[in-house]
Structure 1
Amino acid sequence: MQRHYVMYYEMSYGLNIEMHKQTEIAKRLNTILAQIMPFLSQEHQQQVAQAVE
């Protein structure tokens, strides 16, 4: 039983780490997009906004 608990804990911990990584990547991409958006044409800004939604 304890072995199952350890396996569950390790899996949960690994998933938590992955979620934090993905969240950090999303934040960085949003920052980059926010910096680039003003340089795009109006049409491209709309396309990017739709893609991000």
Structure 2
Amino acid sequence: MSKWRELLQASEDRGKGLGEVKDILQFNEQVDKVQDWIREKVGKWLASCTY
């Protein structure tokens, strides 16, 4: 029965790790969206500047 508990624990640990990876990926997606938004705004601002 201890092997079964080890398997359950390993599965739980892997699930936690995958959850953390998912959170990191979602964070990176949000960062990408914000960077795109900033680039768009800066581009518009630069285009509106007169030299």
Same fold (TM over 0.5): yes
Name the TM-score, length of structure 1 as normaliser: 0.71
Deviation at 1:41, TM superposition (A): 5.6
Greater length-normalized contact order (CA 8 Å, ≥ 6 residues apart): 1
Instruction: List, as ranges, runs of 4+ consecutive aligned residues in structure 1 with deviation greater than 4 Å.
Output: none
Larger Rg: 2
User: Gaps (5+ residues) in structure 2?
Assistant: 1-9
Q: How many aligned positions are there?
A: 42
Write the distance in 2 (CA, Å) between the matches of 1:28 and 1:7.
32
Cα RMSD over matched residues? 1.2
Q: Deviations over 1:2-50 (max 9, x none)?
A: 11101101000000000000000000000000000133365xxxxxxxx
Percentage identity across paired residues of the two chains:
0
Runs of 5+ unmatched residues, structure 1: 43-53
